[in-house]
Structure 1
Amino acid sequence: MNYKGYLIDLDGTLYNGTELIETAKDFVAKLTEKNIPYVFLTNNATKSQEEAVQKVLDMGVETTPENMYTSSMATAAYIKQHHRGSTAYVIGTPSLKEILQDSGIILTEEDADLVIMGLDLEVDYDKLSRAALLIAGGATFIATNPDKRFPTEDGIVPGNGAIQQVLIETTGIQPVTIGKPSGFILDGALKQLGLGKDEVALIGDNYDTDILTGINAGVDTIHVDTGVSRTEDVLKKDITPTHTINNLSEWSI
């Protein structure tokens, strides 16, 4: 089936950690050659748009910032729309904090209106305790993404969603989730792509984020068996992807 454009996941689909998936690189090159628009749609909130693009470029994949939409960008858009001017305690990388500041929040560690959580490789007990106390005190809990597992070149490691469980179990409060499978990040990516839901396919490896995004929104999905969710497990789900392939060399455009 021919689509006018594609939404393509990064971690587990284009690469695993620092290891490029060559079949995905070739697929992106064909899209460029045939002038088929695409947007990399990633739940990774550790990098800015520019940093995420640079990682792809450093791996030898030609792309531009216009082809990148991250959960940190989606979270910033959500803040601009709903919480501009609020104070926030942010767990995450310096890049995430900077993009959120630019969206109109004021960073604080005391009496925050919001607690915003992204993947923080330096997260510790003190950060989690502070966040839990703020949420229990009435701060709105926002998560950039719910990924419990994160694919690297060495294997699967804990993702932001796994660490969020500490706060969920402690406070009993579920976060407002911005990244996949939320429709908020999908709407932003489609706007950037300039196409409608019925014109695109969403490509990804993770059933619980990538594939459910499409299923929830009525967007066709293509599952690739190169990352988190194995095909044998995906095919046991009550609702399966529109298409299931081993890797992107099997997809014709």
Structure 2
Amino acid sequence: MTWSSGHHTALWKGFLIDLDGTMYHGPVMIPGADKLITEMNRRNIPLLFVTNNSSKTPEEVAEQLRRMGIPASHEQVCTSAVAAASHLAEESPGCKVAAIGENGLVHALENAGLILTDEEPEYVVQGIDRSFNYETLTRAARWIHGGAKYVLTNPDLLLPSDEGLMPGAGSLSAAIQAATAVEPLTIGKPSAILMKQAMDRLGLPAEQVAVIGDNMLTDISAGDHAGCGTILTLTGVTTEGNLEYYLQKTGITPDLVCENLDNLLHNICP
């Protein structure tokens, strides 16, 4: 199945590619991902991997891709954690930040020159945190009630894993929002903040960029809001069975819908 709205794919010079559900499911590569990226590199097509996952550093993400046989360097990886750190470093250089998250988030904040603290932070930055507990929630609530601004790396409610779905950063954020009545500034898709940083790194205007992803609510919505082209792959969250539901829910029609990655390769590298 391929479906196109008639957008001229020749206008697209660069691509922002989602990872989980588009390139892989957990530790398993989605068929054709290696071939797709190898061919895009062979044709010198600019690309970046753009992920809402805040748990890994760009180096760890690139290494994970290479282990699967997908060529990748850390310079090609944009994570919501790095985008959050860059945003704060620009808005408030050297600010005091409390991090609720994992290795990727902590590294990103430190690398951006921000001061990590548990004492009177100016910002609380929250991502996925698989050790999140009642104590974490209490500290977050007290910091935010004490005047700290609340920043969320990404709003994903659920994440795919080897053993099925698990709660994402957005589910943890729901608890913090309930405890504080404060809505966070969201960095990752579908927010424009991560998308703008990625487009700046590609050095291309929105109309020459297409977003490739499996999730209508994050990837395709982000691309649409940013003015990019949109390519939906039916390889993850969105399937042939629920496509109509997501089209109605988002009110967005992707420029191209591809059943699998071989199908996608044929369309963008004819």
1:141-152 to 2 correspondences below 5 Å: 141-152=150-161
Identify which of 250, 253, 256 aligns with 1:240.
253
1:69-84 to 2 correspondences below 5 Å: 69-84=78-93
User: Match for 1:246: what amino acid?
Assistant: E
Structure 2: runs of 5 or more not aligned? 1-8
C-alpha distance after superposition, 1:203-241 (max 9, x if no partner): 111111111111111111111111123323223332222
Distance across 2 between alignment mates of 1:126 and 1:180: 28
1:154 Cα deviation after fit: 3.0
Instruction: Kindly report structure 1 stretches of 4+ aligned residues shifted beyond 6 Å.
Output: none
C-alpha distance after superposition, 1:7-57 (max 9, x if no partner): 100011101111110222221121012111110011111111111111111
1:160 Cα deviation after fit: 0.6
C-alpha distance after superposition, 1:169-189 (max 9, x if no partner): 111111011111111111111
The reply to whether residue 191 of structure 1 matches residue 200 of structure 2 is yes
TM-score, with normalisation over the residues of structure 2? 0.89
Distance across 1 between alignment mates of 2:213 and 2:163: 19
Quick check: 231-240 or 4-13, which moved more? Answer: 231-240
The reply to whether residue 228 of structure 1 matches residue 237 of structure 2 is yes
8 Å CA contact retained: 2:154, 2:187: yes
User: Match for 2:82: what amino acid?
Assistant: M
8 Å CA contact retained: 1:149, 1:228: no
**Alignment identity in percent?**
39
RMSD: 1.4
Quick check: 3-12 or 23-32, which moved more? Answer: 23-32
1:127 Cα deviation after fit: 0.7
1:72 Cα deviation after fit: 1.3
C-alpha distance after superposition, 1:112-171 (max 9, x if no partner): 111110111111110111001111121100011111111223332211111110001111
* SS class of match (1:61): coil
8 Å CA contact retained: 2:96, 2:116: yes
8 Å CA contact retained: 1:79, 1:104: no
TM-score, with normalisation over the residues of structure 1? 0.95
